């Protein structure tokens, strides 16, 4: 009978198949062995990873490329469990980047402010509210204007959406009870107003706070 000569790849595949079959027949033995040797195994794995850092990094990158959905879920799960830690790390990375890229950081901020004027105004209003020690909440100024159906809360006339600051008839956010008089920066205490109407009423008295 002729002797069958196997290649290295074939021998390897046979060995893997035998090991897999044995594991399927003996799950209890595997669990028992892993439990008894967990600490020893962890030390061995850690040692191997330290000695093969480049290989580990390569394997991790390749796995991440092949499993983007799993990577996303894993990151989301970690973030949900470590929100405070994640925010601190992100702030630290941002600070380091800004210090190393001062000019780029300034240009990025200016560009963002030009693209998001409403958010900038809202941010300044929140800072003023904190200065006066009154309550404040984040909201979209455009949502307030849409809520008020683009009708000025002071003169009750239509506000033209196309007019931009500093046009006197452009849209502006009016605090019904001014922040300086302990009014809050909340949805129920703000309304749409013409810029001119807002400036005229700035000196005036208390207006009726919204009920919604």
Domain positions in the chain: 116-201
Give the pLDDT score at 117: 83
Q: What is the pLDDT of residues 34-67, one digit of tens each?
A: 888 888 888 998 999 999 999 999 999 999 999 9
Task: Give the pLDDT band of residue 206 (cuts 50, 70, 90).
Answer: very low
Report d(CA 198, CA 194) in Å as an integer: 6
User: What element of type H or E holds 24?
Assistant: helix 8-25
Q: What is the mean pLDDT of the chain?
A: 88
Angle, CA 157 vertex, CA 154 and CA 162 arms, to 5°: 110
Assess if CATH 1.10.30 describes domain 116-201.
Answer: yes
Q: Select the more confidently predicted residue: 37 or 90.
A: 90
pTM score? 0.52
User: What element of type H or E holds 173?
Assistant: strand 171-175
């Amino acid at each position: 009978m002729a002797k069958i000569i196997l290649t290295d790849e074939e021998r390897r595949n046979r060995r893997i198949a035998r090991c897999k079959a044995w594991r399927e027949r003996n799950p209890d033995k595997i669990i028992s062995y892993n439990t008894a040797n967990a600490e020893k195994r962890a030390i061995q794995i850690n040692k191997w990873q330290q000695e093969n850092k480049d290989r580990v990094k390569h394997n991790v990158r390749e796995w991440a490329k092949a499993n983007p959905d799993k990577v996303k879920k894993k990151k989301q799960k970690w973030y949900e469990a470590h929100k405070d830690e994640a925010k601190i790390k992100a702030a630290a990375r941002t600070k380091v980047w800004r210090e190393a890229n001062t000019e780029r950081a300034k240009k990025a901020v200016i560009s963002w402010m030009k693209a998001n004027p409403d958010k900038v105004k809202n941010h300044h209003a929140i800072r003023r509210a904190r200065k006066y020690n009154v309550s404040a909440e984040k909201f979209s100024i455009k949502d307030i204007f849409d809520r008020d159906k683009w009708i000025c809360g002071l003169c009750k006339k239509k506000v033209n959406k196309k007019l931009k600051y500093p046009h006197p008839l452009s849209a502006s956010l009016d605090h019904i009870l001014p922040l300086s008089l302990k009014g809050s920066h909340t949805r129920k205490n703000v309304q749409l107003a013409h810029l001119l109407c807002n400036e005229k009423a700035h000196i005036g008295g208390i207006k009726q706070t919204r009920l919604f």
